[in-house]
Structure 1
Amino acid sequence: MKLPRITLVSLLTDSVTLKHMRVAGFHHAVVAAENAFQLAKERNICPDLSTKAALLHDIGHTDWEKQGEWDFESYDYFDIHPIKGAERAHELLTLKGEHLGKAREIALAILFHSGSSPINTNLELTPLQKLVMEADDLDEQESGRHHLTEIPLKEAIDRMEELDENIDIHLNRCDERCWNCDKR
């Protein structure tokens, strides 16, 4: 029996996501997911995995403000948001009923999404992991401004509903030749 797909909207509107994604910004998460969908289609990588990982890639961010200003020096040196994000995303996905193999791949893509992270040193990234890193980088702005661009939650939900529809269309046409796609 095929299980229903865990949607981007259900992930975006979950209380865990709403709590933790506010720090990194909904706009950046939405744009990264949209970028991931386009890259996934171009590269024959499963758009379901790609968009979920891109949407949740910064769910591990914490507030690095110091006296009302973002403390980039401390952030660059001490930040572990990929580690925290991978853990949060994996727990969220498994609690929602995501296939365990997919939850693992999404969490690993989040773990390795940041090129500045010391955990990426000397690793050969999978196609999904590279895609999520690139989808994130496509929206990057100087001094982390991409995290400061705001979007109403309603608009973020509307855009994820549209992306969910596009993913469903793609998966219905899928011939299962995507990297790591099992259509579950």
Structure 2
Amino acid sequence: MRHVTLMDVYEHPITQKYVKRSGMAHAIACAYHAFKLSHQYNVDADTATKAAFLHDIGHYTWYRNGQWDYELYKENDIHAIKGAERAHKLLIRLGEHPKKAKEIALAILFHTDSYLPGGRLQLNPLQHVVALADEADEEPGGNHHYRKISDEQARKQLQHLDQQIDQLQGVAQGY
């Protein structure tokens, strides 16, 4: 039984502010990639899709002279750190199980190693799925953050994904 759905997460004002800023279309695409990958890596689909959906919730907008500066972002960004904290707080407020909220926050923290000075991370299966889902939707120069999606289409896609997760969990529980 899920405590919090993707639609619950989507509707929250914090999600609307920060995920829209970092790219709602990208977040939803990553959630779909994570759903598909979760079966392959034997990871809970609900946890994987939430982590992939929220993986960029910590992005800061890096501008120089009124223009987005991708190089400035690459040099200075720590969005995975901020995002892990922000997502954890959001999920707890929504009523997510604390253990699951922590797993999601850690997957967000480790979805990229861009903030580590020359380091490589040893990822668990959930963290690996979220990193792969992000990579699957990336475009050169960070352009994946600028694809647009209407609120209506976003809701429709997330409702469909929630239904798929519910169906999958129903099958797993023998319903």
- TM-score by length of structure 2 reads 0.94
Alpha-carbon spacing, 1:127–1:91, altered in 2? closer, same or farther (3 Å): same
Instruction: Confirm or deny that 1:56 pairs with 2:54.
Output: yes
Match runs of 1:17-166 below 5 Å:
17-118=15-116, 121-166=119-164
Letter of the aligned partner of 2:4 in structure 1?
A: I
Residue in structure 2 matched with residue 182 of structure 1 by the alignment: none
Counterpart-to-counterpart distance in 2, 1:100 and 1:48? 14
Unaligned runs of 5+ in 2: none
* Deviation of 1:87 (Å): 0.4
| Runs of 4+ with deviation above 2 angstroms | 119-123
Contact persistence 1:86–1:111 (CA under 8 A): yes
Counterpart-to-counterpart distance in 2, 1:136 and 1:56? 11
Counterpart-to-counterpart distance in 2, 1:13 and 1:25? 15
Aligned residues: 174
Give a deviation string over 1:98-153, Cα, whole Å, max 9, x none.
Answer: 11100000000000001323079243111000100000010000111100111111
Contact persistence 2:113–2:121 (CA under 8 A): no
Identical pairs, percent? 44
- TM-score by length of structure 1 reads 0.89
Contact persistence 1:115–1:133 (CA under 8 A): no
Counterpart-to-counterpart distance in 2, 1:158 and 1:175? 26
SS at match of 1:118: coil
* Deviation of 1:31 (Å): 0.2
SS at match of 2:138: coil
* Deviation of 1:68 (Å): 3.1
